[in-house]
Structure 1
């Protein structure tokens, strides 16, 4: 199983990155091979309609690589900081580079870091709509964090406190992503060779 974990923060030392890395580690323990797409480190171009509608591969290699990673994975995690009650423009642009069916049949976990305990709900709900538009299935469990959930880690980057209810919620999301992915794989395997069969 392959998972694409997307960090939608422009900061290399973000709480969002620490949150996504924690979830990624939990997915690896559940049998996933994880690809990390840290948008702060990837120079993705601005989405332009002519590239979206042309049907041709994007002319910028970084965009092609991101689209390929989204297509090739079995599950996705989208992590975002909350800006003005919404998800980040950096993440929005990355998602706009994807074809309309990029998440078709894939489970997607949503995670957000905000300035207050209720700040993440709106951003996650907005992302749920985008995930559905891309054909994905947003899992019920979502994770919201605030600055107090983190402690100083290595290289001046924050690290998530891996104890208590927050860790349990991250683990719950990872469990749902793994369960849905295995179910989809089993269902797909069960339908192989049935095309054209008469019921």
Structure 2
């Protein structure tokens, strides 16, 4: 387990993901990763499925932003690390997540373009291993295109074979819990290396 430090205390990790259903499995996984980051000293903020559902469709021809859009862009602009979770829909990530990521085109003119130099943890829940793999791969491609660093640990939950949550919504599968801890540690380690540099 990585020890907390003053540098870790200042790290801000932003989570994004979920579905229209509050407390969806993909949202729970992102929240669990954020909780591990918080335990390591990070400040965290979450944009869940219902929050993403309030974003209008991204339109580059209309640069005026709603308060919800502006909040997401500013949170991502100030993020030291990012966690993105999505269900797998037909082998790809959800429209809600894609719309939110498209909005981050607003970060293109920044000195720190898009996700430049930031670790990005990815988590996918899908009905079957093929959908898990293709969705996780698609998200990794997007993060690379946006100059981010996908963590070596990517989390894929096969909802057909795995039941990671207990009745209270907590993680009960120790294999999943270990992956969550490992990803959080990688995110925090990378952000502290960046801060030191």
Q: TM-score normalized by structure 2?
A: 0.84
1:15 touches 1:159 (CA, 8 Å); kept in 2?
A: no
Q: Which has the larger radius of gyration?
A: 1
Aligned to 1:178: 188
2:89 touches 2:131 (CA, 8 Å); kept in 1?
A: no
Aligned to 1:94: 100
Greater CA drift, 35-44 or 77-86: 35-44
Aligned to 2:81: 75
Deviation at 1:18, TM superposition (A): 1.3
Deviation at 1:144, TM superposition (A): 1.1
- The answer for unaligned runs of 5 or more in structure 1 is 188-199
- Structure 1 residues 50-61: aligned runs within 5 Å: 50-51=61-62, 58-61=64-67
Aligned to 1:11: 21
Deviation at 1:166, TM superposition (A): 1.3
Q: For each residue in 1:105-149, what CA deviation from the matched residue of structure 2 results, as whole angstroms up to 9, or x when unmatched?
A: 110000011112443111111111111222211111011113322
Distance 2:174 2:68 in 1: 38
Distance 2:150 2:71 in 1: 23
Greater CA drift, 20-29 or 111-120: 111-120
Distance 1:118 1:164 in 2: 22
Residues 1:31 and 2:41 aligned together: yes
Deviation at 1:13, TM superposition (A): 3.3
Residues 1:46 and 2:48 aligned together: no
Report how many aligned residue pairs link the two structures: 177
Q: For each residue in 1:163-182, what CA deviation from the matched residue of structure 2 results, as whole angstroms up to 9, or x when unmatched?
A: 42211111110111011111
Distance 1:71 1:41 in 2: 18
Residues 1:114 and 2:120 aligned together: no
Root-mean-square deviation (CA), in Å?
Answer: 1.5
Residues 1:160 and 2:171 aligned together: yes
Greater CA drift, 72-81 or 34-43: 34-43
Greater CA drift, 110-119 or 74-83: 110-119
Q: TM-score normalized by structure 1?
A: 0.83
Q: For each residue in 1:29-53, what CA deviation from the matched residue of structure 2 results, as whole angstroms up to 9, or x when unmatched?
A: 11110001113234111011214xx
Aligned to 1:191: none
